[in-house]
C-alpha cells in the first residue's frame, strides 16, 4: 500500500523588502538636517541687540546735526600800506554747528560786517601771503563773530597782541574757553561757530 504523501510545508512569509526601510531612514535624516540647518540659519541671521557702548555710539550718530553754512558775502578792503596801494577781495562763509545761530547771525549782520571789515583793513599784504597768516585772520574773524553773538564776554582786539588774544578767548560764564583751533565738537560746545571759510581770496 502506497504511503500517503507528506503535506507540503507552509511557505515562509516573504520578508519585506529592505529598500523601503533604507528609503525611510534617508527621508527622516534629510528632514532632521533641514530643520537643524534652518534653526542655525535663523540664529545666525537674527539681528542681535547692540551692546551698551554700541547703543550710545549709534544714538550719538543719529542725534548729530549736520552743519549749516551761512554766507557773509564778498568783502573788498584796502590793506595797510607796504609797497604801494593793495586791496583784498575775499568771500567769507561761516560753518555753523548749531543751526539755530543762523537767524541770530542774520539779525546781527550789520555789526558783524563792520567788525569783519575792521579786521581786514588792519592787515598788511605780507601778513596774508602765507597759510598761517590766512588762518590767523580766520581765527580773528571768528572771535569777532562770537563776540557779536554773545558767545564771548570780551571783544577780541582788532590788532591782536599776545595779552589781548589771551583775554579775547575768555568765554561767557559757564562755557568752556575757546581754543585757537578747536575741534568740531569743541566748537559746538563753545558756541557753534566751527570755522570761518574763505571761498575766494584775492590780493591785488
Give how far Cα 136 sits from Cα of 64, 80, 190, 193, Å.
28, 17, 19, 15
Q: Which distant-in-sequence residues (6+ apart) come within 8 Å of 179 by Cβ? A: 169, 186
Q: How far apart are CA 133 and CA 138, in angstroms?
A: 9
Find residue 142's DSSP bridge partners. Answer: none
Q: Which three cell numbers stand for residue 92?
A: 567769507
Domains and CATH numbers, the chain: 66-203 (3.30.479)
Residue 113 near residue 73 (C-beta atoms within 8 A): yes
pLDDT digit of tens for each residue in the chain (204 aa)? 555 555 555 555 555 555 666 677 777 777 666 676 666 555 556 656 656 555 555 445 445 678 899 999 999 999 998 888 999 999 999 999 888 899 999 999 999 999 999 999 999 999 999 999 999 999 999 999 999 999 988 888 887 544 444 444 444 343 333 434 444 444 444 568 999 999 999 999
Q: What is the pTM of this model?
A: 0.58
Amino acid at each position: 500500500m502506497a504511503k500517503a504523501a507528506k503535506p507540503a510545508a507552509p511557505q515562509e512569509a516573504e520578508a519585506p523588502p529592505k529598500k523601503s526601510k533604507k528609503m525611510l531612514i534617508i527621508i527622516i535624516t534629510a528632514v532632521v538636517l533641514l530643520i537643524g540647518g534652518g534653526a542655525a540659519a535663523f540664529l545666525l541671521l537674527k539681528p542681535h541687540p547692540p551692546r551698551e557702548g554700541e547703543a550710545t555710539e549709534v544714538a550719538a550718530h543719529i542725534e548729530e546735526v549736520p552743519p549749516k553754512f551761512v554766507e557773509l558775502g564778498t568783502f573788498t578792503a584796502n590793506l595797510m600800506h607796504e609797497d604801494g596801494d593793495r586791496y583784498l577781495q575775499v568771500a567769507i562763509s561761516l560753518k555753523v554747528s548749531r543751526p539755530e545761530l543762523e537767524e541770530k547771525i542774520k539779525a546781527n549782520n550789520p555789526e558783524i560786517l563792520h567788525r569783519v571789515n575792521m579786521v581786514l583793513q588792519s592787515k598788511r599784504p605780507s601778513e596774508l601771503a602765507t597759510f598761517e597768516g590766512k588762518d590767523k585772520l580766520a581765527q580773528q574773524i571768528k572771535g569777532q563773530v562770537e563776540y557779536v553773538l554773545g558767545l564771548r564776554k570780551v571783544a577780541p582786539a582788532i590788532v591782536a597782541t599776545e595779552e589781548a588774544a589771551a583775554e579775547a578767548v575768555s568765554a561767557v560764564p559757564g562755557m568752556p574757553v575757546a581754543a585757537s583751533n578747536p575741534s568740531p565738537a569743541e566748537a559746538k560746545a563753545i558756541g557753534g561757530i566751527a570755522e570761518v571759510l574763505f571761498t575766494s581770496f584775492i590780493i591785488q
